[in-house]
Chain A
Amino acid sequence: MSQEPRALRAINAGQSVADNATRLEGLEKATGAARYGRDQIKKDMLWVRLIRCPWGRASLDSLDRDAALATPGVVEVVVSGDAGDYHGDSIGYVVARSRRSLERGLQALDAKWTRLDCKTGILDDESARGPMEEPSDQVASAIDDAAFTFEATYSTPVQTHSSLETHGLMIEPDGENSIVHASTQGTFVVADQIGRFLGKRRSRITVDCEHIGGGFGSKFQIGKEGAAGGLAAKSSGEAVYSFCDREEEHLDTGNRPGLLCKVRLGHDADGTIRGARFETFGGTGVSRRGGGARVPSGRFEFGTLDARNHRDVQFNAGGPRAMRAPGCPQGAFVEELLIDEIAHRCGQDPLDLRRRLDDSDRRQRMYDLAADLIGWKNRAETGSQSGTMRTGYGIGTCDWGKGRAPAKIEVVVHPDGHLEVRTGTQDIGTGQRTAMGALVAARIGVPLANISVAIGSSKLPAGPASGGSVCTPSTAPAAMAAGDLARERILAGVAEREKLDATTLTIDDGVIMNGGRKVIRWEDACRRLSEPISVTGEFDGRASAYWGEGSSEGVQAARVEVDCETGQVFVRDVIAIQSCGLPLVRKTAESQIMGGVIQGTSYALFEEQVLDPNTGAVLNANLENYKILGSEDCPRIIPVLWRDDQTGVRALGEPPVIPTAAAIANAVFNAIGRPVRDLPLRPDRILAALAEPMAERVVAVAPGTTERETRA
């Protein structure tokens, strides 16, 4: 059972603090023993469902509240509005004793709506449809000075998080107190927010979220479903179960907003970019903000740039929420495809152009490795292939910031040598639980088997929400500090009893050593404790010794095959090289990278929320028409955990999702010789692109020469 995928082992061996550690809750999850918020089902509990608008914009004509209340099992009908501004907008909620009575109550309510005119996309905005504005004088003159001008428009779709566990919570009365089983990325956010609706002080509320079925940025707030659950619990005093169904999940729990981006730039014959103007339009539905995209990213030299020109466009749809690297995959898609287009125009290898435009030393080394692993030398010149199946290679890049927040980790040392790591933060599947356990074990010098981790409760020491990839970087310094404190306490006791110098003692695999000599086993040293001791490591959210140095950078390379008869794109291989400072647990870190690649591939090929332009209804608010990548579409992925001499723990959750779609789009461009500037890369778009002329070259390539030779 302990066999490993050999290649991964070879590539990533020795790259993490705990190379062979296995996810602590792995067996619980694989046997169905792990209980999620959605699994907190009691025989006697109330069910809550929101009353939702069925159209993009509509006014409520009537509803039969009395009939709903007369339905057996219905206990409460709350109506607080009479209009909806998007499909899924809510005007109240119904509370009932069972799932079935809830359904009947909603039917009896018989809400009748009048559909109103609505806006359904970024292109409903006049300035988005119109031409680009003139650049500033500086940028205009930089573009004029360049040998060539290039102008293009790119777009990306609305992507929904599609967490498999829907949003919601279950509230259980416990005397004067309430236990809130929440599906959340922010244990303490829920604790702060729910009291208002429950009518309880924070001290009377315990939030429990031991396991969470996905969030990806959408589960920071309690949401309307949580608020309604809180209100129902307050008015009834009973246990309340308030979770979205699958349709509601796709309609009203956030999304990655769509992007429209117009670019004008001036470049020279060698690919040098002299100046550029980017105009971005983000679709924010009914929200006022949140549609921003990170383009340009700052990773590449674009010469003189105009100030950010961004406009959030409102229309009748659910608003965005943070989604894994908000604004970044869409920005990377634009920027990286743009670079490949410039490279092609100039007859250059896009990898070489990147090397010139990118000043990160680390990524320079990653380019070499990515090219080697994907087999870049086999890449045919863009547009040179004929036949039905054409192969393409593409590159994408990423970086991520160094966000951090205050965090505490408590370590309890029991007299039997067992260590309990306690942290209130949540493990949304990132491996946070395992990372904290493994880090404490490594700091002390005991096997991970000595450790258990209590996680996901507002009664445990506070820590950040799982967002911005700050959770592990912030809790890691606290865990290192706690581990060191626990170790020092035990070693001080041993030194005193054995009349040794504590500073010369070490712990190696559960054995306390003095120089090369064994002193005592960890368990035996702990046995001297009369009671458990507790230490708490604290990170104040600023730089400290434990924060260290580190950064998150990455390069991905994709190999695709395009079927030019059907327009289907097959992503065959993705090399994903990612630095994250000091990697903690190899297996879960590889999983994070792989997950980013898979979500990025899914975004590149399939995902797209579709609104009916006439009614504003979402046409694919489910998992059969909103397609996410499945087992048969999954590429082979080599996640490469990059490690150099960095000592600080850095972001890993978000960065790997950034470059994938960009790398795939570039690979498709390479295969078919035409850029597809709109995601997803649907078959109809591939076929439409193939009907267009080959992408233009502005620098002549002599017949029979390769890109490489042309440049030399």
Chain B
Amino acid sequence: MTDDSSPTSGASGSSGSSGSSGNGDVSRRLFLQTIGISAATAAADRQSANADAAMRPGGATIIGPMPARTSLEVNGAPVDFVAEPATTLLEALRERCDVTGPKEVCDRAACGGCTVLLDDRPVASCMMLALDATGRKIMTVEGIGTVDDPDPLQVAMAEFDAMQCGFCTPGVVTSAKALLERNPRPNIDEIRAALSGNLCRCGTYPNIFNAVLVASGQEPVEEPTDRGQTIPGGRA
């Protein structure tokens, strides 16, 4: 998917699907909104009561530009809210559903901080519209486990100190959970590959690998240079 979030100034409007602001700059959000129209058709059936929805002659249902009622299923619970159709799933979760585990980091699918499971598959929630998630099962890190009832993966993450600042951790846990769902005993290369879309700035990858290995019932990585050395330093 192309991405056009670079600042543009003064480009005249070319987006016929919107125009609410009387300002037609082709922004990424308008772009998303445009391509979201066809994908949101199914979702739109549920929106028929919405006064802002209208039928285009070609047959596609157009939602917006005014705020539209949106219904999502987040971590097994239904959530209802009214938002502009251009609202991304990430914005909807964080700003409408009070689900702040998924983080807004790059807002263009480069870092994995906003990863959620959509019908059990990991997606960057910053890159899809909330409306396109209608009728689908959305699970965030909060749905994987809680402090009182954590998933074994989350326990292993804490146990192996697979985090420092922790801002990437929800996305990492979510991607790793998806990996374990499709591959219950991943090897270290498979773990590295599955997490290659999740950036961690503090630098905790080796601990993450070990947490995922142990959460899947495997031994943690045997470091290559272990020689049974016990006490370095002057205390020997």
Contacts and interface: CB of A to CB of B under 8 A. Distances in A.
Interface of A: 1-8, 10-11, 13-15, 22-23, 25-36, 38-39, 41, 54, 71, 99-100, 103-104, 107-108, 110-112, 162-166, 211-214, 216, 245-247, 362, 365, 369, 372-375, 428-431, 573, 575, 577, 579, 587-588, 590-592, 594-599, 602, 622-624, 628-632, 634, 636-638, 640, 642-645
A216 B87 CA distance: 32
A108 B207 contact: no
A5 B141 contact: no
Given A41-B95, A623-B106, A27 B147 contact: yes
B170 interface: yes
A573 B221 CA distance: 14
B133 interface: no
A599 B25 CA distance: 38
Contact of B225 (A3, A99, A373, A592): A373
Contacts of B154: 27, 30-31
Contact of B198 (A216, A365, A631, A640): A631
B158 A5 contact: no
A631 B232 contact: no
Interface string B169-185: 11001000000000000
A631 B204 contact: no
A1 B144 contact: no
A163 B200 CA distance: 9
B192 A632 contact: yes
Interface residues of B, number: 94
Given A32-B140, A108-B23, A429 B203 contact: no
B78 interface: no
Contact of A32 (B106, B170, B197): B170
A595 B202 contact: yes
Interface residues of B: mostly helix, strand, loop or mixed?
loop
Given A22-B158, A623-B110, A644 B235 contact: yes
26 contacts: A5-B210, A7-B225, A11-B230, A14-B230, A15-B233, A26-B163, A27-B155, A30-B153, A31-B147, A32-B141, A99-B95, A163-B165, A211-B165, A213-B165, A373-B227, A429-B166, A429-B202, A575-B225, A587-B161, A592-B164, A595-B164, A624-B108, A631-B200, A632-B193, A632-B196, A645-B235
Contact of B201 (A27, A214, A592): A214
A13 B235 CA distance: 13
B198 to A, nearest CB: 7
A164 B103 contact: yes
B86 A100 contact: yes
B225 A631 contact: no
Contacts of B163: 23, 26, 29-30, 429
A631 B222 CA distance: 17
A153 B10 CA distance: 45
6 smallest beta-carbon distances between A and B, as pairs: A32-B101, A598-B203, A26-B158, A213-B167, A429-B165, A29-B166
Which of A5, A11, A100 has most chain B Cβ within 10 Å? A5
Contacts of A575: 225
B150 A636 contact: no
B32 to A, nearest CB: 13
B231 interface: yes
Contacts of B161: 22-23, 26, 431, 587-588, 590-591
Which of B108, B158, B199, B209 has most chain A Cβ within 10 Å? B158
B225 A638 contact: yes
Contact of A111 (B9, B102, B152, B191): B9
Given A1-B152, A624-B106, A628-B201, A591 B111 contact: no
B132 interface: no
Nearest to A34: B166
B188 to A, nearest CB: 10
Nearest to A362: B234
Contact of A246 (B29, B106, B144, B208): B106
B192 A631 contact: yes
Nearest to A598: B203
A103 B205 CA distance: 36
Nearest to A245: B107
Interface of B: 5, 7, 9-10, 21, 23, 25, 27, 29, 84, 86-87, 91, 94-95, 98-108, 110-111, 113, 140-142, 144-147, 150, 152-170, 173, 191-193, 195-210, 214, 219-235
Nearest to B152: A1
Nearest to B194: A631
Given A7-B223, A164-B199, A630-B196, A636 B170 contact: no
A5 B188 CA distance: 14
B219 to A, nearest CB: 7
B233 A246 contact: no
Given A164-B168, A632-B192, A634-B206, A26 B100 contact: no
A564 to B, nearest CB: 24
A537 to B, nearest CB: 26
B94 A39 contact: yes
Given A23-B163, A628-B201, A104 B226 contact: no
Given A26-B158, A634-B205, A645-B234, A165 B106 contact: no
A644 B105 contact: no
B93 to A, nearest CB: 10
Contact of A595 (B152, B204, B209): B204
Contact of A31 (B150, B195, B222): B150
Contact of B21 (A29, A34, A107, A579): A107
A442 B159 CA distance: 20
Which of A30, A579, A637, A643 has most chain B Cβ within 10 Å? A30
Contacts of A36: 103, 167
Given A634-B192, A643-B235, A32 B7 contact: no
B210 to A, nearest CB: 5
A573 B105 contact: no
Given A11-B229, A594-B203, A630-B199, 11 more contacts: A7-B222, A27-B154, A31-B142, A31-B173, A33-B147, A110-B9, A112-B10, A622-B108, A624-B106, A631-B200, A634-B206
A645 B101 CA distance: 43
Contact of A365 (B153, B157, B166, B234): B234
Given A22-B158, A631-B196, A165 B165 contact: yes
A428 B141 contact: no
A596 B165 contact: no
A32 B144 CA distance: 10
B166 A31 contact: no
Contacts of B150: 27, 30-31
A211 B101 CA distance: 13
A23 B29 CA distance: 39
Nearest to B173: A30
Given A54-B9, A365-B233, A41 B157 contact: no
Which of B140, B155, B157, B232 has most chain A Cβ within 10 Å? B232
Given A3-B219, A163-B201, A622-B110, A214 B167 contact: yes
A374 B225 contact: yes
Given A631-B208, A638-B225, A1 B156 contact: yes
A6 B222 CA distance: 7
Contact of B159 (A15, A22, A41, A362): A22
Nearest to A635: B206
Given A99-B95, A164-B113, A211 B166 contact: yes
Nearest to B99: A32
Contacts of B170: 32
A11 B226 contact: yes
A631 B111 contact: no
